[in-house]
Amino acid sequence: MTTSRTPAYDERLTAPRTWWVIAALFGLSMALVFTPLGLIAALIAFAAGTALAGAYVSSQGSLRIRVTAGLLVVGDARIPLKALGETHVLDAEGARAWRTYKADLRAFTAMRSYIPTAIRIEVRDPDDPTPYIYLSTRAPERLAEAIRGSA
């Protein structure tokens, strides 16, 4: 049995390294644009461009998934485990199918294109129109087990 202070599952999904390289290249391109104005202007543009692109990468690429006592926490969303039904672990092909042609627009999704595996959790609350929850995760088996064990 887990307590609210000890999560049964905790995962932070972060942006891949290539996104950070692109952010640095954006800063470099800003420096090249400002080079005709002088070295100081180019350095300021490099720092500002890299910081701006890095903030964007961090905000768009980062997501935290936790399972605590009675709750599934995905980013800012807090979902009671008693409202959840069966969990389905999805391999890369199954995850792609549920992201594309099998997707339901009413579903709660936390998709990350750079993570191939996912989990789909049915919502059994009759008052909630959400049919399922789709979460990209690097460890779908562990997440499913944590949800089953904490429910």
SS3 for 66?
strand
Exposed e or buried b for every residue in 105-141, given b needs 16+ CB within 10 A? eebbbbebeebebbbbbebeeeeeeeebbbbbbeebe
Cα dihedral angle (67, 69, 72, 75), rounded to 10 degrees?
A: -70
pLDDT in tens, 46-70: 999 999 999 999 988 789 999 988 8
- Check: CB of residue 11 under 8 Å from CB of residue 137: yes
Mean pLDDT throughout 122-140?
Answer: 93
pLDDT at 23: 96
pLDDT in tens, 95-105: 999 999 999 99
Question: Is the full-model pTM beyond 0.85?
Answer: no
Q: Determine whether 142 is exposed, middle or buried from the number of CB atoms within 10 Å of its CB (0-12, 13-18, 19+).
A: middle
